[in-house]
Amino acid sequence: MENCIFCKIIKGEIPSCIVYEDEEIIAFKDIHPKAPVHILVIPKKHINCINDIEPEDEKIIGKIYSVIKQLAKVQNIDKNGYRVVVNCGEDGGQEVMHLHFHLMGGKKLPIK
């Protein structure tokens, strides 16, 4: 998808700190971290938001949670716990229209 910042990260056109990559999924550090660990996990396929998830995407969405589980362990936040957030649309506060899962942890997160 042209002009999508996360598609540009996938293509290596914009630098990022990649912490996981396979043929379908990539994960990189959020540029404005809201917690000591703040990683974005995204499908390489451009999907705008939850509203655009198709039945054919169900497997990859499930796999994203397996990757999140692995990353939480690698980042050593699995025992204390963490938060996974997916914002959708304007009211949900979504700024980048490429589906992404925020993985946040490393401190007691505020209730919001």
Q: Does 41 bind ligand AMP (CB under 6 A)?
A: no
**Alpha helices (runs of H) in 2-107, residue ranges in sequence order:** 5-10, 58-74, 89-92
Which one of residues 46, 94, 106, 109 is an interface residue with ligand AMP (CB under 6 A)? 94
Q: Name the binder of 48 from ligand AMP, Zn ion, none, CB < 5-8 A by kind.
A: none
Q: What one-character DSSP code corresponds to residue 111? A: P
Site string for Zn ion, 36-65 (x = CB under 5 A): ----------x-------------------
Numbers of helices and strands, H then E, in the chain: 3, 5
Q: How many residues bind Zn ion (CB under 5 A)?
A: 6
Give yes or no for residue 100 binding Zn ion (CB under 5 A).
Answer: no
Contacting residues toward ligand AMP, per CB under 6 A: 5, 14, 16, 28, 30-32, 40, 87, 93-96
